[in-house]
Chain A
Amino acid sequence: MTEPNRNTAALLAALALLFAQGPASAQLVTRFEAGAVSSSSAGVVPFNAFSLTPDVRYNGRLVDFAAHGSAWLAGNDWQFADGDASATFTSPTRKHVSVQLMADASRAYYDAVNQNDQVEARARVHLIFSQKGGMWLESGVARPWRVAVVSSVDVAGAGAWTTLGDATITGTLTNFSFTRIAAADDSTGTLQSCTALADPGSCLRQSHFSDVQGSVHWEHAAFEVDAQTGYRFGDATDVTDDSRRWASATAVVWVSPEMALVVGGGRQPANPARGLPARNYAHLGAMFAAWPAMSSGAVPVEAQGSGISRFEIAAAGASLQRVQVRVIGVHRVEVMGDFTDWQPVAMVQRGRDLWEALVPIAPGVHQMDVRVDGGKWLPPPGTPTMRDGFSGEVGVLVIQQ
């Protein structure tokens, strides 16, 4: 076998290992947003366009893939705008610790002048205190193209999150460090500090700045709101006045499980590492979500804190039971019981708040638990409960003949 073939085989084997988690845990969700977008850089006339924004996510047990893009109709011409593809590996949580590895390739497009591409890799170590909060440390590196940055961008940061009722509050501190080409002197003619001269008129300059950002995600019934605000630390040569502070918000109203109205706007700070200026933006549109069909036989805090608002089980054929859970704003729901030999089975998201699994449960008395986002195993709400002998509880099901 030649060297390239060996490497290909190794790559395929690694992919096989990742996907060997089984189809039971697979989750494919597609979304499509159509609407009007308006944006402007400081002092520039607003740019208005009709935009189409497709979004595809594949959530496996350990690996998630996501891709989204946007295309703008400005005048009579379509313009492919932003695009992003990412893969995230998340390890199972053991003793409150989880590790995330993220790889991302993106294209940013503001206008004909301000556009470039970037690849990025980050690693995060999460410390999860409970389903109510946690924190993380992260480090990574990014490499932009077609921009006056001559080094990789080193990224280091930390974050913390907590839940309060229906809201999740997150705070982050992220530091960026990179080398860029800058003018050798400023507008007053004062010579700038340079690590080296690139040419007589410009120099290589070490830049760094830090972003502190707070964000809130709130979901209740058919409403979702995301809002964030931030402040940037750094000297005047790295941070322009128009990027010291920013704020933005987006509201989503679901008119059906498959369709929502989206409205949002705010100020986006400059991205010096990618040479993108600050801008104001507003958008108004409709979002369409497609959830996977449930094929026959396909299976992937405290009780009040699990967030599960409803649990139902009903016959779905000769030997299958359809287990349904309604819970909002979570990423993973699993069920296990004596009917699965106590092996977790990932439920499939069938709607914004609806998760479902088809499992073979024979008539009789069974014990089971449900887990949300890798948290504590808990009895489903509304079922009789009993202690499990391991300092936890289980729900008891009675499946009639």
Chain B
Amino acid sequence: MRRGTHGAVSALLALCMAAPLGLLAQGSDPLAQLDATTRHVVQVLMDSARSEGLPTQPILSKAQEGISKHVDGPRIAAAVRTVFLSLRGARTSLGAQAAPEELKAGAFALQAGIPEGALQGLHKASHGKSVTVPLIVLTDLVTRGVPSDTASNAILQLWTRGAGDADLLGLPKAVGQDILSGAAPGDALLKRARTIPLRPPGKGSE
């Protein structure tokens, strides 16, 4: 009995000591919880991104997100591969001078199924302005069911006619409310787009 108690106490103490060590180990290697194959895929893709001058953080972040959401290894591998390819596609569309945040937003848009042509259209119309917010709003609208070409044209027109970031960021919520009220997603966007006051390009367009 005495030996049993002693053993139980020892096991408990060992558990207490092992738990923080385990946390420390996870802290030093954010991919420690992945199986070997998935981990290898993530590391190879991060190496490829690094060698191509693409940001690696979105790839690592997608793997961490999958781990936290208890997604299995193959689906995490597929998701990080999509992120890598979309980052590469975003740079092709937005140009080598695109900022990391623009690349991330461009990658979001490609992941949502928006064609590269739409990204190129925004890039050509940017005249040095960041395309980050238009791309994020475009991604949201397509996710909500607005047809890709309708959303791309509407956002391009609004943006080139001087709509600011705040105007654009207000669209998703408003369109979402109309969709919940029964409006067709495309119609909801066109209706809401008409309510945004437009300014001449280059004046107060953030």
Interface residues of A (CB under 8 A from B): 3, 6-7, 9-10, 13-14, 16-17, 20, 304, 336, 338, 341-344, 364-365, 367, 377, 381-390, 392-394, 396, 398
Q: Which B-chain residue is minimally distant from A16 (CB atoms)?
A: B16
| Cβ < 8 Å to A, chain B residues 66-92 | 66-69, 71, 75, 78-79, 82-83
In the complex, B156 has a CB within 8 A of chain A: no
13 more contacts with CB within 8 A, not counting A338-B61, A390-B65, A390-B79, are A6-B5, A6-B9, A7-B9, A13-B16, A17-B19, A338-B58, A341-B64, A342-B61, A367-B65, A381-B173, A383-B172, A386-B112, A390-B69
What mask results when residues 95 to 111 of chain B are scored 1 for a CB within 8 Å of chain A, else 0? 00000110011001001
B residues in contact with A6, CB < 8 Å = 5-6, 9
Chain B interface bracket (under 10, 10 to 19, 20 to 34, 35 or more): 35 or more
Check if A385 sits within 8 Å of B79, measured CB to CB.
no
Check if A386 sits within 8 Å of B140, measured CB to CB.
yes
Q: Which B-chain residue is minimally distant from A339 (CB atoms)?
A: B61
Known: A336-B68, A377-B69. A385 touches B143 (CB 8 A): yes
Check if B68 sits within 8 Å of A342, measured CB to CB.
yes
| Chain A: minimal CB distance from B79 (Å) | 4
Check if B136 sits within 8 Å of A365, measured CB to CB.
yes
Q: Which A-chain residue is minimally distant from B170 (CB atoms)?
A: A382
A11-B13 Cα distance, complex, nearest whole Å: 10
A333-B128 Cα distance, complex, nearest whole Å: 40
| Chain B: minimal CB distance from A192 (Å) | 43
A residues in contact with B2, CB < 8 Å = 3
Known: A6-B9, A16-B16, A336-B68. A385 touches B82 (CB 8 A): no
Q: Which B-chain residue is minimally distant from A12 (CB atoms)?
A: B16
| Chain B: minimal CB distance from A336 (Å) | 6
| Chain B: minimal CB distance from A57 (Å) | 26
Contact pick for B64, options A342, A364, A382, CB 8 Å: A342
| Cβ < 8 Å to A, chain B residues 178-203 | 180
Known: A13-B16, A390-B66, A390-B75. A396 touches B61 (CB 8 A): no
Check if B111 sits within 8 Å of A20, measured CB to CB.
no
Contact pick for A386, options B16, B65, B108, CB 8 Å: B108
Known: A3-B2, A386-B139, A398-B169. A341 touches B30 (CB 8 A): yes
Contact pick for A389, options B16, B62, B172, CB 8 Å: B62
What are the nearest 10 A-B pairs in CB distance? A384-B140, A389-B79, A342-B64, A342-B68, A338-B61, A10-B9, A342-B65, A13-B16, A390-B71, A365-B101
Check if A396 sits within 8 Å of B139, measured CB to CB.
yes
Check if A365 sits within 8 Å of B65, measured CB to CB.
no
A336-B70 Cα distance, complex, nearest whole Å: 14
| Chain B: minimal CB distance from A131 (Å) | 16
Check if B13 sits within 8 Å of A9, measured CB to CB.
yes
| Cβ < 8 Å to A, chain B residues 142-187 | 143-144, 165, 169, 172-173, 180
Check if A9 sits within 8 Å of B9, measured CB to CB.
yes
Check if B65 sits within 8 Å of A10, measured CB to CB.
no
Check if B12 sits within 8 Å of A20, measured CB to CB.
no
List 6 A-B residue pairs with CB atoms under 8 Å apart, sorted by A's residue number.
A338-B57, A385-B140, A385-B144, A386-B111, A388-B79, A398-B136
